Structure 1
Amino acid sequence: MMKVPEKLINFRVYKNGDDLIGVADIELPSLEAMTETTKGAGLAGEIDSPVLGHFSSMELVLNWRTLEKTNIELVSPDGVTLDCRGAQQVYDSGAGKYIVRPVKCVIRGVPKKTELGKLDVGTTTDTSNTIETTYIKISIDDETVLEIDKYNYICNIGGNDFLSLVRKALGLN
């Protein structure tokens, strides 16, 4: 018996937790570790060594169908908190039925790029906002599976905070 995750049924995007900002396709940030090449005596070549708990620039991209007041407001340099809430479809083979699993992604960051799109008769404008992500928290079934907070030295993956000893060494705890 197993639970087979199948698809995202649907989702909504909220600004500051409760203001629905519209319907968008979202490209979540890529997680690429910052690296430095290590080479020298004792190594048979080079190693691209990741910096513990540190990530390169992370971008969230919201792709909109039309030019709206809400996507223009996301240009403001004040920063933004977005709450993306979804429902995933999972097939429970033991029970022989579908179940719904909640997924939530909280993003904090600052606007980096806005494509106003194009004006063409009978088509979408393809407006988009790119948010430089400084904080991301993903919860599945109300369990935090990922939390990265660049300003507060948090890198929690699957319940393991990889930067806790770094915070302690820096006197931040």
Structure 2
Amino acid sequence: MANLWLDLKGPILADTVYINGVLVAKDVTITLPAVTHVTADYKAMGTYTAPMTGQIEGMEAAITKIGIDKGLRSMVQLESKTLEVRWAQDVKYADGSTKTEGCKAFMRCVPKLIPGLSVDPGNPSENEVTLAVSRYQVFVAGEEFCLIDQLNTIMRIGGVDYVKDLRSVL
């Protein structure tokens, strides 16, 4: 009989952001990059649209940080940086137990803008930094989820290297 239970991934408990190993933010809202494949049309009983191997749209991430501080300044400095995002999430198992699971994302990125700073007496300053991402790697509970590296032609998802053949002929 098939296992009918999947571990239930619960809420995000906390997160931290590091730039080149230095803590720059805690408990922020982070939008990690979407990986959008470039598609091509093929003639097959009309038109069939499918992803092109090894071709993706530009990746972008966003971090909404509370406060105007050195951490925000580090994020907007116009230079390539390695950003590490760590977060903890609750996981509920079939036996009813709960465990905290650690996740990490690594991004090589540069800021796309310096945000317009929000200054409103009595309210926190929320500032969104948008980042252009050229390398993106995610680990969930110590296991690699994906690695996308546009500059080095790497696209590995679940351990499968989808552009190995492309690299071998270049």
Fold conserved between structures, TM > 0.5 = yes
Alignment of 1:1-173 (within 5 A): 2-16=6-20, 18-23=21-26, 24-39=28-43, 43-94=44-95, 96-170=96-170
8 Å Cα contact 1:111/1:132 also seen in 2: yes
Q: 1:163 to 1:68 in 2, by over 3 A?
A: same
Rounded to whole Å, the distance in 2 between the matches of 1:102 and 1:108 is 21
Return the alpha-carbon distance in structure 2 between the equivalents of residues 56 and 78 of structure 1.
21
> 1-side partners of 2:81 and 2:107: how far apart?
8
Taking the aligned partners of 1:91 and 1:12, their CA distance within structure 2 comes to 23
State how far apart, in whole Å, the 2-side matches of 1:120 and 1:11 are.
Answer: 25
Q: What is the distance in 2 between the residues matched to 1:54 and 1:129? A: 26
Instruction: Verify the 8 A CA contact 2:146 2:158 in the aligned structure 1.
Output: yes
Deviation at 1:75, TM superposition (A): 2.1
Kindly, what percent of the aligned residue pairs are identical? 25
Distance 1:3 1:60 in 2: 27
For the residues of structure 2 that align with 1:30 and 1:49, how far apart are their CA atoms? 18
Q: 1:124 to 1:38 in 2, by over 3 A?
A: farther
Structure 1 residue 86: Cα displacement: 1.2
What are the ranges of 5 or more consecutive residues in structure 2 without an aligned counterpart? none
Unmatched tracts of structure 1, length 5 or more: none
Return the alpha-carbon distance in structure 1 between the equivalents of residues 10 and 75 of structure 2. 32
CA distance in 2 between partners of 1:136 and 1:116 (Å): 26
Question: C-alpha displacement at 1:19, in angstroms?
Answer: 0.8
Q: What TM-score, normalized to structure 2?
A: 0.89
SS of the equivalent of 1:74 reads helix
Rounded to whole Å, the distance in 2 between the matches of 1:116 and 1:66 is: 12
Root-mean-square deviation (Å)? 1.5
Task: Give how far 1:72 is off.
Answer: 2.0
Paired residues in the alignment total 165
C-alpha separation in 2, matches of 1:84 and 1:154: 21
Structure 1 runs, 4 residues or longer, greater than 6 Å off: none
Instruction: Report SS of the residue matched to 2:106.
Output: strand
TM-score (norm 1): 0.88
Query: Matched residue of 2:10: which SS?
Result: strand
